[in-house]
Amino acid sequence: MRKYLAIFISLFVSSTLFANESRVCQKCHPIIYQEYTESSHKNASTYNNPIHKALWEIHPKDSQGYKTCAKCHSPSDLKALNEGVLEDNEIQKNAPISCVYCHSIKMVEEGEGSNTNVLTDKKREFYTAEQAKKGKPKASYETKSSWFGLVKESRNSPYHKIEYNNENYYSGNVCMGCHSHTNNEHSFDITMLDAMIDKKDKNTCITCHMPQIAGTKVTINETKTHAYHGIAGIYHMNKEMGKYLEFQVDKTTQGFQVKIRNKSNHALFGQSFREGVLDVSIIRDAKVINLKPFIFTRILGKDAQEVMPWDADMTLKDSLIYAKKDIMFPVKLQDGDSLKLTLSVRRISKEKAKELGLNNKKLTKKRVLKVQTFSF
């Protein structure tokens, strides 16, 4: 019992000591915590994301202050969320969207400008998804003695309870409080994820972006795998994400057509200033012929001029990948040619980075999602 008492005492001390409760989670979920520190969610604040900072600085300010962004970018900082005051603190830097925040989303309320997360008011009771435990009652800490008290076994967490019956964590709807849409004042969606959750889909936001990978989810009971909290996507595991995108090439009389089929349930590269790039090269007689890359982007405007996302009320150009995208190249393929297709994504286009005065090359780096070669 002494061992458990020690855990309780150290947890009690640390939970009152740290303003950032995610540090408490770190003690028993170190792998998940480590991944989280490298995720877009930990980096969503102005302090950690230079693109976000640059845009917030030039965004028109009103009485709402930073509330307009905090709702999704740092909801764990209550001062930013409720008063719109942005200040350099532990939460902004280390857990703007914290472990507790995500695991406390009880339901998602649909809204016109954006959706809203409704949190549970129960302290230290978290939601998660696990098929094997669905339908079972809430899991609380239990200990069991056997061998006349010589061997002590424990189940579940001494720190928190777990509720396995919130459907939102199975369908992926838990992500939709922040990811569904972000409309500007002119009811214009500036993130354009355009996601559709369908119960019949084999994959969800969670199975694709938080896949099970090797490593235990908790130190107390070893498990083989855990859900990846670094978020597979633009920052990490980008090449693995390519398996959800399919290429097909058809020869035509004028040239050839590249057909892209998107297996995800949403549009790709819709975030303002994001840019998808399809590089195409023909390898002919040991020479490489590079064709003009195709750019996937969405340009927003007003009065037919490009403007900042918050002022936009029309789309000037939309070349995003929705469910499918066919692109024509007016170049004839010959027998013996190889055609190499490379699809990648830049967090921000080079032009926009320059306009915003961002010269960190990492931000505009092409992150490869898929490479495939076809022979003719």
The single residue among 9, 220, 289, 328 that binds ligand HEC, judged by CB under 6 A, is: 220
Nearer to ligand HEC, 213 or 283 (CB): 213
CA atoms lying within 13 Å on the CB side of residue 17: 8
Query: Are the beta carbons of 99 and 22 closer than 8 angstroms?
Result: yes
Cα–Cα–Cα angle for 182, 207, 120, nearest 5°?
A: 60
Q: Provide, rounded to whole angstroms, the least separation between the CB of residue 265 and ligand HEC.
A: 5
Residues, the chain? 376
CB of 108 to ligand HEC, least distance (A): 9
Give me Rg for the CA atoms of the chain. 24
Phi, psi of 134 (to 5 degrees): -65, 135
Neighbours of 140 (CB within 10 A): 13
Cβ-contact 259, 250 below 8 angstroms: yes
What span, in angstroms and rounded, lies between the C-alpha atoms of 243 and 262?
10
161 part of the interface to ligand HEC, by CB under 6 A: no
CB burial string 7-24: b at 16+ within 10 A, e below: eeeebeeeeeeeebbbbb
Contact segment (CB under 6 A) with ligand HEC among 215-223, 299-307, 324-332, 351-359 equals: 215-223
Judged by beta carbon, residue 145 or residue 221, the one nearer ligand HEC is 221
Residues with Cβ within 8 Å of 354's Cβ and at least 6 positions away in sequence, in order, are none
> Rounded to whole angstroms, how far apart are CA atoms 241 and 152?
43
263-282 binders of ligand HEC (CB under 6 A): 263-266, 268-271, 274
Q: Which of residues 333-352 bind ligand HEC (CB under 6 A)?
A: 345, 347
Distance CA 347, CA 51 (A): 9
Nearest distance in Å: CB 197, ligand HEC: 6
Binding range to ligand HEC, per CB under 6 A, among 174-182, 249-257, 288-296, 335-343: 174-182
Give the one residue of 20, 31, 163, 209 binding ligand HEC; rule: CB under 6 A.
Answer: 209
Q: Is the Cβ of residue 135 or residue 330 nearer to ligand HEC in the bound state?
A: 135
Q: Which of 75, 258, 278, 344 binds ligand HEC (CB under 6 A)?
A: 75
Q: Which stretch binds ligand HEC (CB under 6 A): 25-33, 80-88, 277-285, 349-357?
A: 25-33
**Which residues from 102-121 bind ligand HEC, rule CB under 6 A?**
102-103, 114
Among 20, 49, 94, 297, binds ligand HEC (CB under 6 A): 49
Which listed residue (197, 314, 368, 371) binds ligand HEC by CB under 6 A? 197
Least distance (Å) from ligand HEC to the CB of residue 282? 26
Q: Site residues for ligand HEC, window 295-334 (CB under 6 A)?
A: none
Tell me the C-alpha distance between 372 and 355, whole Å.
33
| Cα(327)–Cα(324) distance, integer angstroms | 10
Contact 114, 72 (CB under 8 A): yes
If one asks whether residue 44 binds ligand HEC (CB under 6 A), the answer comes out as yes
Nearest to 174 by CA among 202, 139, 210: 210
CB 197 within 8 A of CB 172: yes
Judged by CB under 6 A, which of 47, 94, 166, 226 binds ligand HEC?
Answer: 226
Nearer to ligand HEC, 225 or 373 (CB): 225
Cα–Cα distance measured from residue 184 to residue 113, given in angstroms and rounded to the nearest whole number: 7
- Complex with ligand HEC: residue 209 or 325, whichever CB lies closer: 209
For residue 203, the minimal CB distance to ligand HEC (Å) is: 4
- Give the pair of three-digit tokens for residue 339: 């055609």
Residue whose Cβ sits closest to ligand HEC: 233
Interface pick for ligand HEC out of 188, 229, 280, 346 (rule CB under 6 A): 229
Which residues 120-139 are close enough to bind ligand HEC by CB under 6 A? 126, 128-130
Q: Which of 107, 218, 308, 323 binds ligand HEC (CB under 6 A)?
A: 218
Residues 270, 309 contacting (CB under 8 angstroms): no
